[in-house]
Amino acid sequence: MDITINKQLVQKGEKDQDFTPVFNINNLNLWYGQDHALKDIKFDIPEKQVTAIIGPSGCGKSTFIKTLNRMVEMVPIVRMSGEIVYRDKNIFDPKYGVEELRTQVGMVFQKPNPFPKSIYDNVAYGPRIHGIKNKKVLDEVVEKSLRGAAIWDEVKDRLNENAYGLSGGQQQRLCIARCLAIEPDVILMDEPTSALDPISTLKVEELVQELKKDYSIVIVTHNMQQAARISDRTAFFLNGEVVEYTDTSTLFSNPSDKRTEDYITGRFG
């Protein structure tokens, strides 16, 4: 019995890329003016798994995650080449609307950023923009999203209170609920727990494990233990390049690149 389990573990490490991709990134390059921030990025992001992006400050990980929903284009001096294919469509194709993309690819940020509105209105915001006016339908979406973000029990009796009255950890889960309300396919998370206390952090981590049953998640994190705990695959970025991208167990137990080893063992960065 033990031997079988062992074999499976070994195979998990060896069988690379055995998944259905939600994103294919091909030779992606990005410049901020003269600064070459992403260099020939090429890898696939799996469906319904958690993909962690780690690396030292300034390595391009936040830039990278922001290209996935084309948020990076809001920076005026950005230039890009290469392609990002989301479910068989190149997201840079002019025919592909950015709104449509962002409906599919939601995002949660480093600092919780609820709107200065009630808890209810925060979650209902997206669906309303998409034209849902029926109160009953909205009620259902709000409850489902808040439950999905594991915060329903804490807020169900005060849905009409201002979201600013929630704790930081609750605000972050509210933002996740707001993201779920538009029923995305992919959730991007840019250091979603770096402003939270340890218990709130663990709650969000638990939530991510739940969410991956239904969503594909890409998470940028400075917390390497967090990447090790919650992700299925990890990409190590350094100076705008992907140094190593493999299943998380392998990356944290026996990385193949010396630079990865030095970074995760804390010998630099």
Partner 1 sequence: MVVRENFQLQLEEMKQAIVQISKLTEEALELSVDALKNQDLDKALQIIENDNRINVLEDEINDMAILLIAKQAPVASDLRRIIAAIKISSDIERMADFAVNIAKSTIRIGKEELIKPLEELPKMAHHAINMLRTATKAYIDEDVALAKELGELDDFVDETYGKIIKELLELMTQHPEQLSQISQLLFVCRYIERTADHATNIAESIIFLVKGKRYGLND
User: In whole angstroms, what is the distance from residue 156 CA to residue 141 CA?
Assistant: 13
Nearest approach, Cβ of residue 261 and partner 1 (Å): 5
Candidate residues 120, 236, 245, 252; the one interacting with partner 1 per rule CB under 8 A = 252
Binding mask 187-226 for partner 1 (x = CB under 8 A): -------------------------------------xx-
Q: Does 154 bind partner 1 (CB under 8 A)?
A: no
User: In whole angstroms, what is the distance from residue 219 CA to residue 180 CA?
Assistant: 16
Residue 33 to residues 36, 68, 78, Cα–Cα distance (Å) = 8, 20, 6
**237 versus 252: smaller Cβ distance to partner 1:** 252
Q: Does 265 bind partner 1 (CB under 8 A)?
A: yes
- Among 103, 101, 57, which residue's Cα sits nearest to residue 220? 57
> CB under 8 A: which stretch of 14-22, 56-64, 211-219, 252-260 binds partner 1?
252-260
Strands (E), 33-160: 35-46, 50-54, 78-86, 89-90, 105-108
Q: Does 267 bind partner 1 (CB under 8 A)?
A: yes
Nearest approach, Cβ of residue 197 and partner 1 (Å): 18
**9 versus 129: smaller Cβ distance to partner 1:** 9
Binding residues for partner 1, rule CB under 8 A, total 14
User: In whole angstroms, what is the distance from residue 74 CA to residue 264 CA?
Assistant: 32
> CB under 8 A: which stretch of 18-26, 153-161, 203-211, 254-262 binds partner 1?
254-262
User: In whole angstroms, what is the distance from residue 69 CA to residue 182 CA?
Assistant: 15
Binding mask 9-48 for partner 1 (x = CB under 8 A): ----------------------------------------
Nearest approach, Cβ of residue 264 and partner 1 (Å): 5
The bridge status of strand 186-190 relative to strand 216-220 is: parallel
Q: Does 243 bind partner 1 (CB under 8 A)?
A: no
**117 versus 259: smaller Cβ distance to partner 1:** 259
Residue 175 to residues 24, 69, 130, 148, 253, Cα–Cα distance (Å) = 27, 17, 18, 12, 33
Handedness of CA 71, 73, 78, 80 (dihedral sign): positive
**14 versus 139: smaller Cβ distance to partner 1:** 14
For the chain, state the CA radius of gyration. Answer: 19
Would you list the DSSP string of 156-176?
A: TT-TTSBGGGS-HHHHHHHHH
Total number of residues shown for the chain: 269
Candidate residues 71, 186, 211, 264; the one interacting with partner 1 per rule CB under 8 A = 264
Q: Does 255 bind partner 1 (CB under 8 A)?
A: yes
Task: Please name every residue paired with 162 in a beta bridge, in sequence order, or none if there are none.
Answer: 118
The residue ranges that bind partner 1 (CB under 8 A) are 224-225, 228, 252-255, 261, 264-269
